[in-house]
A and B are shown apart, each in its own frame.
Chain A
Amino acid sequence: MLLYVMRRLLQIVPLLLFISALIFLLLYLMPGDPLYRMLQDIPRLRAEDYERLRKLYGFDDPVYIQYWKWLWQLIQLNPGYSTEYGQPALDIIWPALKNTLVLTITAVVIGKSVAILLGIYSAVRQYSIGDYLLTGLTFIAYSVPAFWLGLMMIIAFSVKLGWLPTSGIVNPDLTPGTWEYMVDWIKHLILPVAVLAISEIIQVQRFMRSSLLEVLRQDYLTTARAKGLSEQVVIGRHALKNALIPVVTIIAVTMPRVVGGSTVVETVFAYPGMGRLLYTSIMGNDYVVAMTVVMIIAVTVIFFNLLADILYGWLDPRIRYQS
């Protein structure tokens, strides 16, 4: 097991290097360098000055030199300055990450627990009206684009009913720490959390259902019932333990979204999180921020993929990795 983990960790390094080089190259190929963006606001600047500054900051170096310099700085956790805001990139990213974590963790906790409960219900009552209804609903919801769902919720709860705000995280007029501030903050969270939670439910409910159905067919449950155990104990203690194994790994694989946020949902609700930052930084040629966000997301994706594989082997003794 340890050997397996070590080997996987070793494979991660070239993968990360390759991804970083690829993204760096793609952003490098984009029109307009960061310097140009920074100097646009200074009309006195002449073309010679621009060239001189380009040389000074090394933007005329070959791409691999630029990549190496950037990588070396990133390894030292100093990704550079945002050209858009003139601040260290990490100072821009931290607040966005915090906002996203609040949003996604709430959505994931609500969404995944509801999904697991609904999945258990569907499996235990297979082919009941409730099961058909849930299966149909998740199938329908699966075909609904997230941004449309968000906009429909805005129409219903903000435009028509006027209950909830359409965008942002909190009304800037309120003072932090007060009761009104908290209420307003939660009101801003409800719609984006709902959209994200629904997409979580769609993905996990079906999975939980089929996983539990698979387990319910097995002989050891017949044995448990034959021993005279109540249905609650049979399902809750004996069946769930095994049925949850694949669900846990699926949850681990989808966890990077907690860090990366959802560009679409955060755009719909003008929520200043990581997904929105990824979008605005790429659109605004703020390469330093964009690269850092992408690398943070890439690292979490790789980490959780590895975690999922390890969890799978650890939770299910029937699976053994060859080292």
Chain B
Amino acid sequence: MNTNEHQEGYWRIVWRRFKQHRVAYVGFFFFVFLLLLVIFGPHVVPYQLDQVSLGKRMHMPSSGHWFGTDELGRDTWVRIMYGGRVSLAVGLIVGFSTVILGGLIGILAGYVGGVVDNALMRIVDVIYTIPRIVLLLVLSKLAGPGLLNIIIILVALEWTNAARLARSAVLSFREQEFVLAAQCLGASRWRVMLRHLLPNSLAPLIVAATLDAGAAIRAETTLSFLGLGIQPPTPSWGNLLTNAATNIFIAPLQVFLPGLFIFFALMSFNLLGDALRDALDPRLTQLRR
């Protein structure tokens, strides 16, 4: 490799490779599309979220009601759009929070090592060993329903991925020169961790955030399906689907539609995660001409 050549910054390389990734486009398009849809979608039709009209119960889609109506004659389009705001918000908030929490814990464990590392990693082991569904059921029953409780529970269970990734990243460059240099210049532990170790372990964490967001939406909808997630009247894709499932014989479309949006959301996060993984992979960085 010619070192005199102009060195492109890491993030510019990432951006270039992300742009070249066809899968990234699809995922990104899906995500932006969903986001715009749930933001503007409810306002393009003349119905309110809880506008009951008993004369129009469980109608099929029509020019008046694009997605039909539910068992109380409420417009399904509007309900799915509002539900999407909640579900996507849960995904994004949990995705960001798990990475911040897990990232910091992982960096702390990897850098400080010793007893701290051992204790933190045993906690991770325990969370991994107990099947996720057990913890989800027990914790959500204990905490009670509610948007904030769901978010806290999901963060409490999902930070482990990010922690493992950050820890292994830190372990791989804890002894490298730039860390030693920072230490020699008198940087405090926290400064080394936050200014030097954190930016260098960002790549796997960003991928983890994307995949965790998808996992959070999946978990929230699953919990809602089991009657433990976000409760009506707050709509979410999960509880809309569950609510419609009681009338599956009469109005199967009302079950299909919320699920379709859950699928779109999971798909977009998974595609983005995959594309970002390819774009951020540091092993590929060295292959550039």
Chain A residues with CB under 8 Å of chain B are 15, 18-19, 22-23, 26-27, 29-30, 139-140, 142-148, 151-152, 154-155, 159-160, 256, 260, 263-264, 267, 275, 278-279, 282-283, 294, 297-298, 301-302, 305
Contact = CB atoms under 8 A, between A and B. Distances in A.
Contacts of A155: 248, 252, 255-256
Given A282-B141, A294-B134, A298-B130, A143 B267 contact: yes
Given A147-B222, A151-B255, A155-B248, A30 B131 contact: no
Given A155-B256, A278-B134, A143 B263 contact: yes
A297 B218 CA distance: 22
A282 B138 contact: yes
B221 interface: yes
A29 B142 contact: yes
B259 A15 contact: no
B137 interface: yes
A142 B268 CA distance: 12
Contact of A23 (B138, B252, B259, B271): B138
Interface of B: 125-126, 129-131, 133-134, 137-139, 141-142, 214, 218, 221-222, 225-227, 241, 245, 248-249, 252, 255-256, 259, 262-263, 266-267, 270-271
Nearest to A305: B129
Given A26-B142, A151-B259, A15 B252 contact: no
B131 A256 contact: yes
23 contacts: A15-B126, A19-B126, A19-B130, A23-B130, A23-B138, A26-B142, A143-B267, A144-B266, A145-B221, A145-B262, A147-B221, A147-B222, A148-B259, A151-B245, A154-B248, A155-B256, A159-B249, A160-B252, A263-B133, A282-B137, A282-B138, A283-B137, A297-B131
- A interface SS class: helix
Contacts of A22: 126, 130
Given A159-B248, A301-B130, 18 more contacts: A19-B126, A22-B126, A23-B138, A26-B138, A143-B214, A143-B270, A145-B262, A147-B221, A147-B222, A151-B241, A152-B259, A154-B248, A155-B256, A256-B131, A267-B226, A275-B133, A294-B134, A301-B129
Contacts of B214: 143
A151 B251 CA distance: 12
